[in-house]
């Protein structure tokens, strides 16, 4: 009982859905026989004797059963009643994992920071830094995450899959700070590291699939920023840039799906459907010349809708394929729910726009060479 074992991440392994890496609940060393009588007014613990070890094991079991709220309650009690216990240091790490799973990233950041400060093991400190960095990125604390990963990547112990993850997270931090080129370079290096570490055998690998997904997101966001504005020369240039980014994003999502990791495949499928939808919406909102008359504008939008409606149909088909894949794999995560909601909205939009075009199959084109004033004059003559 008095022998101090090293912290070892064994008892269960969890593929972190909000990230892609393997995070493990930590097992602590045996502790002295410390017990405490807990007052019955405490909301989560009945009257009686409880030990630090019992609370630690209770939290570990709750984590194993994915009952993260109960896991947090157990570690809350451990940390409150046994602040000096050897179990409590690891309790911070394990509670941080629970908070991460519940997407309470700012609270998880505090727990992993406490763990890093309290643990004496270099290996455990490294584990804490990796988890801290992920939660900093997800919490939008990009500068702090970038600084942490810059120093972490200097360590010669960061190799293989671990180095790949650090490069991925640093890339995400750079993307969050608006450094698209830096992010893209880190994603490329991250992909190289994982292919090298796995001898190119990436099928089903969550980290490889996420790297490609994040790269697809990067290109997709850049594409979404481009709006079609006059003059015509600028619009043509922007269309070329938007198409280039569209294809890069689409290719990355397709490659992510081809890795065949269930979670990231559904995520990439959802984003791929959004690409076509975003392109459709951007074209539908394209700027028209201020000199256009009402008739010209009506003709322009009618013809535009006829030409771009297939993009909406393409988006619908991708969402349908994504849902069919998720059903086949028995998956119903947040990405699948998003695809379901998107599909319902777009089907209705497509039906409405198709009906409108069918009800008004043709819109008279303005006479060739006519000016806005000519069209206005014709309209005035019709009134008389």
pTM of the entire predicted model = 0.83
Inform me whether the pLDDT recorded for 377 exceeds 90.
no
Q: What is the mean pLDDT of residues 333-352?
A: 96
Residues in the chain: 384
153, two tokens: 């990547």
Instruction: Label residues 297-307 b or e (16+ Cβ within 10 Å = b).
Output: eebbebeebee
CA distances from 356 to 280, 282, 288, 314, 359 (A): 17, 20, 21, 19, 5
Mean pLDDT of the chain: 86
The tens digit of pLDDT for each residue in 352-361 reads 999 988 886 6
Domains and CATH numbers, the chain: 1-139 (1.25.40.10)
Helix (H, G, I), strand (E, B) or coil at 145: helix
The tens digit of pLDDT for each residue in 26-48 reads 665 444 445 655 555 555 555 56
């Amino acid at each position: 009982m008095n022998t101090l074992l090293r912290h070892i991440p064994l008892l269960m392994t969890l593929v972190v859905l909000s990230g892609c890496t393997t995070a493990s609940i930590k097992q602590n060393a045996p502790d002295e026989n410390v017990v405490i009588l807990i007052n019955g007014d405490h909301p989560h613990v009945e009257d009686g004797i409880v030990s630090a070890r019992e609370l630690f094991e209770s939290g570990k079991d709750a984590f194993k059963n994915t009952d993260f709220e109960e896991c947090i309650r157990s570690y809350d009690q451990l940390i409150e009643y046994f602040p000096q216990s050897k179990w409590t240091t690891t309790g911070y790490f394990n509670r941080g994992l629970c908070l991460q799973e519940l997407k309470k990233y700012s609270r998880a950041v505090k727990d992993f920071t406490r763990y890093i400060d309290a643990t004496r093991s270099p290996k455990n400190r490294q584990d804490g830094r990796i988890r801290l960095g992920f939660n900093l990125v997800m919490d939008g604390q990009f500068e702090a995450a970038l600084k942490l990963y810059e120093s972490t990547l200097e360590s010669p112990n960061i190799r293989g899959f671990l180095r790949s993850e650090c490069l991925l997270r640093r890339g995400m931090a750079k993307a969050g700070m608006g450094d698209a080129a830096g992010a893209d370079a880190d994603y490329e290096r991250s992909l190289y590291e994982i292919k090298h570490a796995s001898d190119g055998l990436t099928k089903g690998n969550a980290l490889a699939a996420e790297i490609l997904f994040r790269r697809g997101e990067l290109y997709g966001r850049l594409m979404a920023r481009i709006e079609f504005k006059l003059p015509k020369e600028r619009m043509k240039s922007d269309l070329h840039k938007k198409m280039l980014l569209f294809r890069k994003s689409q290719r990355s999502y397709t490659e992510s799906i081809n890795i065949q990791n269930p979670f990231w495949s559904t995520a990439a499928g959802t984003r791929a459907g959004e690409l076509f939808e975003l392109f459709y919406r951007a074209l539908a909102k394209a700027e028209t010349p201020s000199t256009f008359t009402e008739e010209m504008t009506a003709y322009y939008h009618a013809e535009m809708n006829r030409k771009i409606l297939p993009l909406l149909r393409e988006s619908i088909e991708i969402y349908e394929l994504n849902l069919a894949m998720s059903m086949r794999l028995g998956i119903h995560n947040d990405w699948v729910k998003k695809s379901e909601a998107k599909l319902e909205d777009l089907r209705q939009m497509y039906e409405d726009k198709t009906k409108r075009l069918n009800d008004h199959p043709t819109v008279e084109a303005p006479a060739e060479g006519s000016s806005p004033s000519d069209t206005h004059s014709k309209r005035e003559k019709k009134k008389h």
